[in-house]
Chain A
Amino acid sequence: MILALLRRDLARFFPFTGSGAALPVVFFVAVAMLFPFAVGPDANLMAKTGGGVVWIAALLAAILPLEKLVARDIELGFFDQLRLRGLAEEAMMAVRLLAHWLSFGPPLLLATFPAAALLKIEGETFRLLLAGLLAGTPGLAAIGLMIAALTASLRAGAALSGLLLIPLALPILIFGAGALARQDAASLGFVGAISLALVAITPFAAGAAIRAAREG
């Protein structure tokens, strides 16, 4: 049942097969492309600030898919039907988290290659950026899913989720982008730790939110 659910969720959210799911990646590359136009093609300036821009783009790209992550399946009665078949909400959300990350993390990492080229990020900085995004995107996906589940039953949920994600994602951004400024891989450990903690609590928080939305 879990595998069938994962296949379905992936088909829903994966770029180019799901509906409009490529948008976050396109958005991510677009930001990286626009930045040199806005600040001018100074290679030094770009090498210094480019990594931070990529992180901000990644964070904002994480907001885009939130709207349809949970709310549509609640409206559809999808989670109710799974519940009747004995599947716990926590398991549904764990599967959804995995599917969400797979459809958002790896494509973003791939898109980092052209983005880094546009921003003149090279060598050690590029490696730190890639490692940081690899460690940070599961955390971003977890925050996103948690917020999407919590706001699913609210009318202005979509607008609210963007506002909620930004402060919660700050620690990941600070340590992730901070590693680039100091050229120090140690703070990526913090990014990984934050991500792990978020990934661990998200299925429970989101599952409880789904149950609470039913009672409403």
Chain B
Amino acid sequence: MQASAPSLTADNLACRRGERLLFRRLSFRLGAGEARHVMGANGAGKTTLIRAVAGLTTPYAGTVTRDGALALLDERTGLDPDLPLGRALAFWAGIDRVGGLALESCCDRLGLGNLLDVPVRYLSTGQKKRAALARVLGQGAKVWLLDEPLSGLDTASQSLVSALVREHCGGGGIALIASHQPLDVPGMTSFAIEDFAPAEAEEKEQA
């Protein structure tokens, strides 16, 4: 892991889904301790943005610069559905070199303590989301990319997510959060992805 402060920069980013341009000229810069909330309706391109920033897809135009380890939370847990939750999380803890005690405290924090023997496929939507959050929390990465972290969670868990993001940023971390629900994180700035959608005239030009 780098000793330097983490940062996340997008410069003039444009992404397409299929043939359609979703957004363009999107730039932002996040330094240590900063969080940004990406808002937008379903299908506006929030997930596409997160995946491009994560480096999983190549943007249509523009560049992303990442400094610091990344952790990604999206609608897929990354946990083996056949394994008991404890062992599925232990696999990632082993990859991320997280000790058993640290993993245990992450699970307790997210209220998963009594679910560790349950196979992942039997967990409810909210429980799966919390399990994925435990994986992200345990990873200890400086840059968090959270795609719809609140979906499927009850009110108590939603405020827990806000608290986790607050702590993460308080410790010098970065968070980029795509969600259509509000989060209670003081100092968090936000932008709507629709503001970067191409005008109709431009879209015609594209075609």
Contacts and interface: CB of A to CB of B under 8 A. Distances in A.
Contact of A81 (B51, B57, B82, B92): B92
Given A12-B80, A19-B82, A214-B51, A80 B56 contact: yes
Interface residues of A, number: 18
Contacts of B95: 1, 4-5, 82, 85
Given A81-B72, A84-B70, A214-B51, A76 B91 contact: no
A78 interface: yes
Given A1-B95, A4-B91, A83 B77 contact: no
Interface string A64-94: 0000000000011110111111000000000
A215 interface: yes
A214 to B, nearest CB: 5
A214 B48 CA distance: 11
Nearest to A3: B94
A127 interface: no
Contacts of A82: 95
B173 to A, nearest CB: 15
A78 B78 contact: yes
A84 B72 contact: yes
B96 A85 contact: yes
B137 interface: no
Interface in A32-49: none
B157 interface: no
B72 A75 contact: no
Interface in A196-216: 214-215
Contacts, number: 48
B62 to A, nearest CB: 16
A97 B57 CA distance: 24
A108 to B, nearest CB: 23
B81 A76 contact: yes
Contact of A214 (B57, B72, B80, B96): B57
Contact of B71 (A5, A12, A19, A84): A84
Interface in A1-27: 1, 4-5, 8, 12, 19
Interface of B: prevailing SS: loop
Interface residues of B, number: 23
B82 A76 contact: no
Nearest to B66: A84
Interface string B71-92: 1101011111110000000011
Contacts of B58: 215
A76 B56 contact: no
Contacts of A75: 76
A77 B69 CA distance: 18
A76 B51 contact: no
A84 B57 contact: no
Residue among A8, A19, A78, A84 with most chain B CB within 10 A: A84
Contacts of A84: 54-56, 70-72
Interface of B: 51, 54-58, 69-72, 74, 76-82, 91-92, 94-96
